[in-house]
Amino acid sequence: MATTAAKPEEPTPNGLHDLSVKKYAFLLLDNFSLIALGAAVDPLRIANMIVGRRVYDYQLIGTAREYAQSSDGIKVLPDATIADPGSFDAVFVVGPNPIPRKGIGAVLDWLRLHARSGTALGGLDTGSYFLARAGLLNGYRCTIHWEDQDVMLGQFPKLIVSNRLYEVDRDRYTCSGGVAPLDLMVHLLAMPPGSRSLAARVLELLVAEQRSHEQRQRTSLRQYIGAEHMKLDEALQIMESNVEEPLSVAEVAAFLGVSQRQLERWFNERLGKTPAQAYLEIRLLRARQLLYRTGKPLEEVCSRTGFTSMTHFATRYKAQFQISPMADRRRYQNAL
C-alpha cells in the first residue's frame, strides 16, 4: 500500500525560531500621539505573526487606572499603571501634544527607576522631552519632533539634539513624530536578537519602506511643496537655516550658483510666489512655532526670526495669520 509523504512544514525565516522574548512597555500620557503608538506597536505585532509566537511582548502603561486619551480624542485602556511592578527590556514614552510642564514628577521617577535597573529607554514624538527632564539623555544623541526642538534645546542646551527621523544611541531610542516610530521600530527589529530578514518581512507586510536614520525631518514649506525640484528644495533649506539673520535673495542665489532671475523663475513656477515672499512665510511660521511651543517674550520671538522692528513683525504676522502674535498665542493656549 502506497504511503503519502508528509507535507513539509512552512519554513520559518532563518534563525527566527530561536528568538528570545523581548518585553516592551509603552507609557501613554494624556494627549499622547495615537499614530506614534500604532506605528511603533504594529511592527511588533507583525513580527510575532511572522515568527509564529509572541517573541515581542508589549504592554501599554498608564499613569492611573483609567483610560488614557490621545490627542485626537480616542481613549485607550492601558494594561497596567506606573504603580504596578514590572520589568521590561525597553520602555517607550509615547509623547503628548502639547508637552505638559507640571504634574509629571511620578512619570520622571518611574523612568529613573527603570534606568537604574538597566532598562533601555525610548521616546516617541515628544517622548524624548520626558527622558531629558528626568536627566536620562545626558551624553546621548537624541531627536524630537521638529516643532519641539527649540523647546528641547532651550531647556536643555547641553543635549545633542539632531534633526534626524530617529536616533539609536546605545540604550536610548528616540524618534520624531508621525510615522517615524515605524522606522525606529523596524531598525530595532533588525538588531539582535532580531534579524534583517525579520525586519524586511515586516516592512513587506506593512507595504512600507524603511527610511534611514540619517534622513532628516522635513519642515516648514519644504514639508509640502519643496521636494519636486532639487535646487528649489536646497534654496528652502538655506532659508530655513538662516531665519535669525536672513540672507538676501541675491545671497541665496549665489549659494546655489544660479542667477537671481533664475531663482525667482523657479519660485514663481513651482510655488506661485517670489523667493522673498517664501522666505517671509518661513520666518513667520517659525515665529508662530516659538509663540505656541515656548514661553519666550514677544521681543525675543521677533529677534529670533530676523525682525528688527516689533511693529513690522506684528504687522507682517497679522497679515499672514489674520491675528496678532499675542492674541494668537492666547488662542492657542486657551484651546489646550
Residue 78 in domain: yes
Q: Are residues 73 and 195 in the same domain?
A: yes
Residues 62 and 170 in one domain: yes
From 205, 238, 258, the end of a domain falls on 205
Q: Does residue 217 fall inside a structural domain? A: no
Q: Is 13 domain-assigned?
A: no
Q: What span, in angstroms and rounded, lies between the C-alpha atoms of 252 and 104? A: 44
Dihedral of the alpha carbons of 171, 177, 182, 187, in degrees to the nearest 10: -30
The CATH number of whichever domain residue 236 belongs to comes to 1.10.10.60
- What pLDDT does residue 6 have? 39
Range of the domain at 259: 222-334
Local confidence band at 218 (pLDDT 50, 70, 90 cut-offs): low
Residue 328 lies in a domain: yes
Q: How far apart are CA 194 and CA 44, in angstroms?
A: 11
Which of 205, 236, 261 is the last residue before a domain boundary? Answer: 205
Interval 34-60 mean pLDDT: 94
46/170 same-domain check: yes
Q: What is the mean pLDDT of residues 164-190?
A: 94
Q: What percent of the chain has pLDDT over 70?
A: 90
In a domain, 314, yes or no: yes
Report the domain count for the chain. Answer: 2
Instruction: Indicate if 156 and 273 belong to the same structural domain.
Output: no
Q: How high is the pLDDT of residue 226?
A: 44
Q: Give me the pLDDT at residue 215, please.
A: 78
Q: What is the DSSP string of 208-244?
A: --PPPTTSBPP-TTHHHHSTT-HHHHHHHHHHHH-SS
User: Residue 52: pLDDT above 70?
Assistant: yes
Locus of grid cell 519602506:
209
- Same structural domain for residues 251 and 141? no
More confident residue, 7 or 52: 52
CA distance 44 to 59: 11
Same domain, 33 and 72: yes
Interval 100-121 mean pLDDT? 94
Q: What is the mean pLDDT of residues 268-290?
A: 91
Question: How far is C-alpha 320 from the chain's CA centre?
Answer: 27
In sequence order, the 6+-apart residues with CB closer than 8 A to the CB of 70 are: 28, 31, 32, 33, 34, 37, 76
Could you count the other beta carbons within 10 Å of the beta carbon of residue 326? 12
**Same domain flag for 77 and 163:** yes
Q: Is residue 215 a part of any domain in this protein?
A: no
Q: Kind and range of the H or E element at 313?
A: helix 310-321
pLDDT band (50, 70, 90) for residue 9: very low
Grid cell for residue 124? 516617541
- Across the range 252-264, mean pLDDT stands at 92
The verdict on 191 and 44 lying in the same domain is yes
Question: Looking at residue 7, what is its pLDDT?
Answer: 39
Boundary-marking domain end, from 178, 205, 232: 205
Reply yes or no on whether the pLDDT at 89 is more than 90.
yes
Are residue 178 and residue 253 in the same domain, yes or no?
A: no
> Please, which pLDDT band fits residue 222 given cuts at 50, 70 and 90?
low
Q: What kind and span of H or E run contains 28?
A: strand 22-28
Indicate if 230 and 201 belong to the same structural domain: no
**Cα gap 3→31, rounded to integer Å:** 62
Report the pLDDT value the prediction gives residue 307, as an integer from 0 to 100: 96
Percent of the chain at pLDDT exceeding 90: 65
Verify that 165 and 69 share a domain, yes or no.
Answer: yes
- The residue with greater pLDDT, 271 or 2, is 271
Residue 255 within a domain: yes
For residue 214, give the amino acid letter. Answer: E
- Domain assignment present for 3: no
CATH number at residue 117: 3.40.50.880
121 & 240 share domain: no
Q: Is pLDDT at 228 greater than 60 in this prediction? A: no
pLDDT digits (tens, 9 = 90+) for 18-27: 567 899 999 9
CA–chain centroid gap for 98, Å, is 13
